[in-house]
Copies of this chain bind each other. A is one copy, B any other.
Amino acid sequence: MNAGLKILAGVAVLSGFVVQTWQQAPKSQLPQFTKEGRLIRPRGYEEWVMVGASTGLSYAEPQTKPAAGAPPGMFHNIYLQPWAYRYVMEHGAFPENAMFVMTFYEPSRKSNPARFGFYEGDRIPGFEVHLKRKDVDTSGWGFYGFGSDTTSTSVKLPGELACYTCHAKEAAFDNAFVQFYPAIRERLLGKADKDSVRS
């Protein structure tokens, strides 16, 4: 094998590695754990794929009816690792280590030129994680919570919490509320949202 071929081989190996990292998960998008099994706070999720936003979404009936023009409740953004998003769109299922991150923003409406409607105001420092991983919970998915401490780690929230039973019962696909995520909903449920209300 001459030097030119060896260079080509080197390039081929490196190219193969690059392709591999797109098919598998880049380490920066995978969950990391402490040696005690606590989930280390994910970073960089603002650049992941935002699969669905919502306002004031609640799984409990409200105590009182909202007043006319009242703020819509907090904005939620749901992020999924780019690698996992592509896996879902290609294979029609969630891969092990898929991880949803849910972030929160106060609704805001006062910055010019907005005269009507709401946008995402101040960020709430904490966020929640929903991780698909067999070894963390019998349901195959674990919930984790992170507060304002950016160095924090989280234990898996106890499997007795209502989030687990509600997700098991109500999720449209594999414990995940894909009914709320437009592109994933179209891919996994194969249908449009029938409940959209004209604005």
Contact = CB atoms under 8 A, between A and B. Distances in A.
A170 B110 CA distance: 13
Q: Which of A50, A60, A123 has the most CB of B within 10 A?
A: A50
A196 interface: yes
Contacts of A69: 65-66
Contact of A58 (B70, B117, B195): B117
A27 to B, nearest CB: 16
Contacts of A117: 54-58, 72-73
Nearest to A167: B113
A160 interface: no
Contacts of A109: 195, 197
Interface residues of A, number: 78
A100 B3 CA distance: 46
**Identical copies of this chain, number:** 2
Interface in A68-125: 68-75, 77, 82, 85-86, 105-123
A199 to B, nearest CB: 5
A120 B54 contact: yes
Given A60-B115, A77-B50, A108 B197 contact: yes
Nearest to A122: B196
Contact of A105 (B66, B182, B195): B182
A107 B18 contact: no
Q: Lowest 4 A-B CB distances belong to which pairs? A: A121-B196, A110-B195, A50-B50, A56-B117
Interface of A: 2-3, 6-11, 14-15, 18, 46-47, 49-50, 52-62, 65-75, 77, 82, 85-86, 105-123, 166, 169-170, 172, 179-183, 186, 192-199
